[in-house]
Amino acid sequence: MNAAEFTAASPLLIMSATAIVAMLAIAVRRNHFVIAAITLVGVVASFCSLFFAESAIPRQITSLLIFDSYSLVYMALLLCAASFVILFSYGYLKQRREHREEFYLLILLATTGSMVLVVSRHFISFFLGLELLSVSLYVLISYIRYEAISIEAGIKYLVLAASSSSALLFGLALIYAESGSMELSQFAAAFGHSATFPPIAGLMLVLTGVGFKLAVVPFHLWTPDVYEGAPLPVTAFIATVSKGGMFALILRWFHVTGTGISGTAGLILAIIAIASMLAGNLLALTQTNVKRILAYSSIAHMGYALVALLAGGMLGAPAATYYLAAYFTTILGAFGVMTILSDPQREAAYIDDYRGLFWRRPVLAGIFTAMLLSLAGIPLTAGFLGKFYVMTAGASQARWLLLFTLVVSSTIGLFYYLRIVAAMYAKTTDMEPARSVMPLPATVALAVLTGLVFLLGIYPAPLWTAIVTAARSLG
């Protein structure tokens, strides 16, 4: 590798190095604060190195990895999300009797895995990145070992993720058998062979693995249980970093400029998108656990992002990316509020925990309201502009069926967001403003996220320009 290649790959290298440093530091002495600080510094350093890497792109390193401005945008997104997760984890873990330090190590590894997905251009790097992410997640989900529900969620995820990985592998093998190439660009080629059996079957099996990670219907069955069982920061991590890496991968390799995805694959993806939007929102209606509600809503939100992917054209990829950025900001904020409200004994997960919250802790409730309204897509929030871009992308390719499903299902979605909002503003007996200490890192993170939700909702121009520039490198 020459110097330019090192520069280009520096975000990944820094992340891996940080993981090693953190591991050694744990071996020397266990100190929660030090490890958390090392991790955060590593993530921030990796984020900063993106600006240096910009000078060395576009660059392909071996046949496995590709660094271009598209990868950099997504890596930036993932690293930001990871740093917010770390900030929320600190206060959360501090309250719990458990070895805390390895948590950060696993977060680092999982984030690295997700970043590898973003930059991979070969079956091998794809699978390695995926497994690095999944294996770290098995542990993270069941990290709180004295919680039975956590263990159950971890095992559920382990079994299902392993089987979906094997389906994915088989799919990759079928595509390889037909084409003799292990490059991810074979996906797009497989779209063309809609008549022949092996590539299409391979593609479907690949979609199983991809769909599992994205938690779209019909591969969504694990989502509510895992969201509910995992510790709150890990739930936030699954909702953002884990899905973001996989979405970046399929957006890069499934993306078709021009008229969007059509043919058999287009039909199947459209069915998946429609089913996700409707099922996600409908299943959330009767839930009473906020984590489960957000789990089902995440299924629907992936469906919305798929609409932009399917639409393609000039706007498809930027719209999907903006949507993801807006969704990440919002969902991190929502889980952040929940993390702050949790106490050492239990997490604030039930709607009843939020009853009358506005009168006890007006600022937190106000932020949570803003996050929920952003998820519902009300103007002035990031979620609205995300939806606006997705709808514009869909309308410019005349994908009316998808758009109408989006409209109807997001109205259904509004209902359960309003249920939580109504609970927060309800009158209860306990109405005195409560004074309680908020952990500093989480408070800072939440303040930044709130600012971002409104910034992305009011002044989208800078991010949109960056995303459009990056999406051009998709060709």
Partner 1 sequence: MALLILIAILIFGGIASWIAASRSATMARWIALVFIGVDFVLTISIWFANLGHARWYQECSFQWIPQFGIRLHLAVDGLSLIMLLLTYFLGIMAILCSWTEIRERTGFFHFNLLWVLAGITGVFLSMDLFLFYLFWELMLVPMYLLIGIWGHERRIYAATKFFLFTQLSGLMMLIAIIALAIIHRQSTGVITFDYEQLLGTSLEPSTALLLMLGFFIAFAVKLPIFPLHTWLPDAHTEAPTAGSVILAGLLLKTGAYGLIRFVLPLFPEASRQLAPLMMTIGVIGILYGAVLAVGQSDLKRLVAYTSVSHLGFVLLGIFAGNQIALEGAVIQMVSHGISTGALFILVGLLQERMHTRQISQMGGLWETMPSLSGAGLVFAMASLGLPGLGDFVGEFLVLLGAYRANVSLTVLATLGILAATLYGLRIGQGAFHGPNPHHWNLPDLGFREWAILGPMMACMLWIGLYPQPILNTVRPSLGAVQQSTPLQEIVRR
The residues that touch partner 1, with contacts defined as CB under 8 A, are 359, 373, 376, 378-380, 384, 388, 391-392, 395-396, 403-404, 407-408, 410-411, 414-415, 418-419, 422, 425-426, 460-461, 464-465, 468
**How far apart are CB 268 and partner 1 at their closest, in Å?**
25
Place of tokens 């694990």: 222
Amino acid symbol at 193: H
Closer residue to partner 1 in complex, CB, 97/427: 427
What does the block give as tokens for 315?
Answer: 């706007």
Nearest CA to 264 out of 308, 199, 316 is that of 199
Q: What is the DSSP letter of 230?
A: S
CA distance 333 to 48: 23
What does the block give as tokens for 324?
Answer: 């993801």
The residues, any chain, with a CB within 8 Å of residue 115's CB and separated by 6 or more, are 11, 12, 15, 75, 78, 79, 129, 245
Place of tokens 């459209």: 270
CA distance 324 to 80: 13
CB 81 within 8 A of CB 244: yes
**How far apart are CB 19 and partner 1 at their closest, in Å?**
39
Closer residue to partner 1 in complex, CB, 47/464: 464
**How far apart are CB 404 and partner 1 at their closest, in Å?**
8
Closer residue to partner 1 in complex, CB, 17/378: 378
**How far apart are CB 399 and partner 1 at their closest, in Å?**
11
Place of tokens 């809609």: 194
Locate all alpha helices (DSSP H) within 54-147, ordered by sequence: 69-94, 101-119, 123-141
Closer residue to partner 1 in complex, CB, 285/440: 285
Closer residue to partner 1 in complex, CB, 9/391: 391
CA distance 68 to 48: 16
**How far apart are CB 67 and partner 1 at their closest, in Å?**
26
Closer residue to partner 1 in complex, CB, 41/418: 418
In 10 A of CB 282, how many CB atoms? 15
**How far apart are CB 108 and partner 1 at their closest, in Å?**
36
**How far apart are CB 407 and partner 1 at their closest, in Å?**
4
CA distance 315 to 397: 9
Cis peptide bond N-terminal to 218, omega within 30 = yes
**How far apart are CB 398 and partner 1 at their closest, in Å?**
9
Amino acid symbol at 10: S
Closer residue to partner 1 in complex, CB, 6/400: 400
CB 223 within 8 A of CB 161: no
CB 264 within 8 A of CB 341: no
Closer residue to partner 1 in complex, CB, 181/469: 469
Closer residue to partner 1 in complex, CB, 176/425: 425
Torsion, Cα 399 402 407 411, to 10 degrees, reads: 180
What does the block give as tokens for 47?
Answer: 């984020």
CB 337 within 8 A of CB 367: yes
**How far apart are CB 389 and partner 1 at their closest, in Å?**
9
Closer residue to partner 1 in complex, CB, 192/379: 379
